[in-house]
Amino acid sequence: MKQGFPVGPTVNPCTKGLWLYRQIFYAPTDIHKTQPTIVIDTEGLGAFDEDENHDTKIFLLALLLCSLLVYNSLGSIDEGALTNLSLVVNLSKSLQANKDPSSSSDFNSEIDELAQYFPSFMWVLRDFALQLVDQDGKKITQKEYLENSLREQKGTSESIVRKNKIRRLIQHFFKDRDCSTLVRPIEDERQLQKLADVPKNELREEFTTEIDELRKRIFTKAKIKKLRGKALNGSMLLQLAETYILALNQNEIPKIDNAWANVQNAEFERAFQHSLKECDRQIN
């Protein structure tokens, strides 16, 4: 049986919604296996048979559940790539941190409140073939390339204002952000269409080296999922997902406070039932 999520050879998407991989991963350095890592694959944005509302739901659920969001796109970071992330601009309209929306005094305070719940961000650029240099020809890191791309542009036109708003919100929401580049995995177009079947030793050596490095960086950045400063266990994460999914399926705005209250209530009930069973056991 093949491992991993499928990679499709056609224009049709392989993933619908969010797929949870059944295997639990641990960092190669975690010999005591103290921090399990769950991998979730999401449907890509902009599917032909879906609308923007569907994209918003997928993106929001991924943001709310993960501690590290790995966003991949093709080629370099340009205005088109940043525009594809413009969904972030509308997140404040699709998410609330508090039960009472009037508890946020203004837009800026609402953005500040939401930003603390956002995951770390890793932008992976596939089939990247450019040299990483600045305007003076000096070599730069992948992270520096991302930061340079997020610098605000000079000007006051409506187009410039819109572009800078996208840049500011990406920087504000994803305070812990990084970038990784991957060269094209193989040159043969026919093999690209069946990439899932190509043995690792037939892939470009540069690509496999970059993949190994990316894997290390992901395990380094993937932290324990927390909410309200508390680490979540499996049952708590499941309750959180159920609350968010119920709200999204009812076309309601997900409320983080409501989700956290549901998690607490479920944990209290679980602890109460456990105490009853233990009391009965000791009495018997």
Q: Check residue 48 and give its pLDDT.
A: 54
Reported confidence tier of residue 60, pLDDT bands at 50, 70, 90: confident
H/E stretch holding 181: strand 177-181
Q: How many CB atoms lie within 10 A of CB 56?
A: 18
Reported confidence tier of residue 258, pLDDT bands at 50, 70, 90: confident
Helices and strands (H, E) in the chain, number of each type: 10, 7
Distance (Å, whole) CA 141 – CA 178:
10
| Range of lowest pLDDT (61-65, 99-103, 177-181) | 99-103
User: Minimal CA–CA distance to 130: which of 206, 189, 183?
Assistant: 183
Task: Tell me: pLDDT of 79 over 80.
Answer: yes
Task: Tell me: pLDDT of 163 over 60.
Answer: yes
Task: Tell me: pLDDT of 97 over 90.
Answer: no
DSSP-based three-state secondary structure for 202: helix
Q: Check residue 68 and give its pLDDT.
A: 95
Question: For the chain, what is the largest distance between any 2 Cα atoms, rounded to a whole number of angstroms?
Answer: 79
Task: Tell me: pLDDT of 82 over 50.
Answer: yes
Average of per-residue pLDDT values in the chain: 84
Q: Which residue has the higher pLDDT, 8 or 155?
A: 155
Q: Check residue 215 and give its pLDDT.
A: 92
Domains of the chain (ranges, CATH numbers):
18-223 (3.40.50.300), 225-284 (no CATH)
pLDDT in tens, 28-49: 888 888 888 999 988 776 655 5
This prediction's pTM: 0.84
Q: What is the mean pLDDT of residues 219-233?
A: 90
User: Minimal CA–CA distance to 117: which of 235, 38, 227?
Assistant: 227
